[in-house]
Chains A and B, each alone.
Chain A
């Protein structure tokens, strides 16, 4: 059957199970938009290409399936560099298709030409420039394979216009031949045994769970391991929801703005079981003072993560789900070997009672604090708490980057995996609105809230036009403190309160009018008593997006905080609520 390259591309995307894609057409990609009319794939027309990328990320976050986006050449391709880099840092499976000027004129500085493959090389797991329409089915198949297997990540297929118009004989490749790409899924049996031996000797263990748990669909398995061993679990910013916050063993988020217990438990542990986490600088603080007494078991599917930052005592390359399952088996086997003498003293593995007493003591003594007075300014933390308490347990929450993100991660109760959608590694402001839209497209039956900052919202708000037009009823809570809040916090604490270029104004723009202009319902909330009724109103609207402008106290800062360049032992608690006289 003779078809065009463009038809082959759409057909290949269908073969890969694509049900929705996000994009915006233009000159070089025009041939592909034509067969799209006849395709089963739902296309969501964005207002800016960056939005297409973040929507695809949100979709992937929420569903686990690869997000697909398609844009044209030149400026469209450069506009998707941010989402590609974001997806690369956070290991999000993304398939990006870009149009390119005809192959015959590449290199002539043609209209809307740019070296897309060259520009995106460092921010994709792999990318392809198609030079022959006959390669399209093979390349699309490889692209999905690379994006979704091993350590997931974004890939890009750059399709020149003349190749899209070239005719080819349709086929679908039965197998994939990538001799240089063989992810190792199964952990080394001996290493797993060594890991379990270390676990059986530990008196102060902590499981340090990262985003890899979610990528490997290993949340259930992690829970089994934690409950079997009784080891407490910290969940990094990328792993919120990978272990239920309600669980007795859950210590919550570690790191620069982690809670005291999570930070200190890691710091004082004698064994870190790092599962799909990467010792990010925001978690470790000053590296040479990080968890000084801890031995490290490090499980990751990416061999390059092992030893990149901290040298593990037991490195295990493999898929988290597989490896943790093996660890569970090995732990059970090891415990079954208990001798009668060991049984009398409480079992083969050391008792964790003393350790957990210390951990629970920190939880009791150092809770996260803030104070909402009835007549005082509205506290951002209060808004988040009320949102949390007035939405279903499985609500999907997206956020941008900054104070609102940290407060949300700290305060929300994530009891289900894939309910937290945020930009971790790259820290992309403006992520929330488009990511929430993508998540809602992937999970239309769920309630999707974006908790955003006023600075972030202004970067990508135009995608609410997309949401209105496509009837994607997301809800946006803007914590409007009229500042680039996190920058302000750093200037207050580390630049002697010299506030440089951080003031944004609470009224400019008028968020309610802006929301209404974009086809959304807009609300403004100034006082604590209006918070819950407005949230309830927002929850009852299901035919269009809703935006709430919460006017929050600009003086609130995110605590605890590990100041840059200091160790996690020097964690700063909120001076206003630290009843222990600050430490």
Chain B
């Protein structure tokens, strides 16, 4: 996550961008961000349920450019079909993290305990280090990173964020007819 100079998390926006599944589309999107001076915090690209399209989940640093300009410029790219802006409250956001921490014999149990709390999995164990995989909301991954850092983080890799809109739980239609006696 992009940090402000004082260490607090920077403002960000999530754009879910449906694009044509053709070569060069990622270059067009990335090139546009570079040319207009917009910063990408993270990026995840994958095919969708429809093989003609891919979905890019782009986390944009909101301080680098007004979001409106970002989406309007993105919309001008011909392979871009649809852009949905997701705020954190309206979206289910997930990320995956692999982290290798120093784990001497004495620290190992503390680390595995921590991993259990975070529902993380031990993916690899070395002589004096452990690789852990954890998935979840970005802030959960941040918290896990904070707690692991005293042990000594050797390597860390996070995927880009993926997100889908939250589902509505309202009934589809309000009925004028009484269906219940309660």
Interface residues of A (CB under 8 A from B): 117-118, 121-122, 125-126, 129, 146, 178-181, 302-304, 307-308
Contact = CB atoms under 8 A, between A and B. Distances in A.
A94 to B, nearest CB: 16
Interface in B73-98: 73, 75-81
Given A121-B31, A304-B73, A307-B68, A179 B20 contact: yes
The 4 A-B pairs at the shortest CB distance, nearest first, are namely A304-B72, A126-B78, A180-B81, A181-B78
Contacts of A117: 24
A308 B69 contact: yes
Nearest to B52: A179
Contacts of A118: 27
A181 B77 CA distance: 8
Nearest to A153: B76
Contacts of A303: 72, 75
Interface of B: 19-20, 24, 27-28, 31-32, 35, 66, 68-69, 72-73, 75-81
A178 B72 contact: no
B7 to A, nearest CB: 32
A181 B73 CA distance: 13
Contacts of B79: 180
A178 B28 CA distance: 16
A181 B80 CA distance: 8
A304 B80 CA distance: 15
Q: Is the interface of B mostly helix, strand, loop or mixed?
A: helix
8 contacts: A121-B27, A122-B31, A179-B20, A180-B20, A302-B76, A307-B69, A308-B69, A308-B72
Given A146-B78, A180-B81, A121 B28 contact: yes
B39 to A, nearest CB: 17
B135 to A, nearest CB: 32
A304 B35 CA distance: 15
A304 B78 contact: no
Nearest to B77: A180
Contact of A122 (B20, B35, B69, B78): B35
A178 B78 contact: yes
B124 to A, nearest CB: 36
A125 B32 CA distance: 12
Given A126-B77, A178-B78, A303-B75, 15 more contacts: A117-B24, A118-B27, A122-B31, A122-B32, A122-B35, A129-B24, A146-B78, A179-B20, A302-B76, A304-B69, A304-B73, A307-B66, A307-B68, A308-B69, A308-B72
A121 B79 CA distance: 13
A178 B78 CA distance: 7
Interface centre among B27, B31, B72, B80 (most CB of A within 10 A): B72
B24 A180 contact: no
Contacts of A129: 24
B87 to A, nearest CB: 20
A117 B72 CA distance: 23
Interface centre among A122, A303, A304 (most CB of B within 10 A): A304
A117 B68 CA distance: 27
A393 to B, nearest CB: 38
A125 B66 CA distance: 22
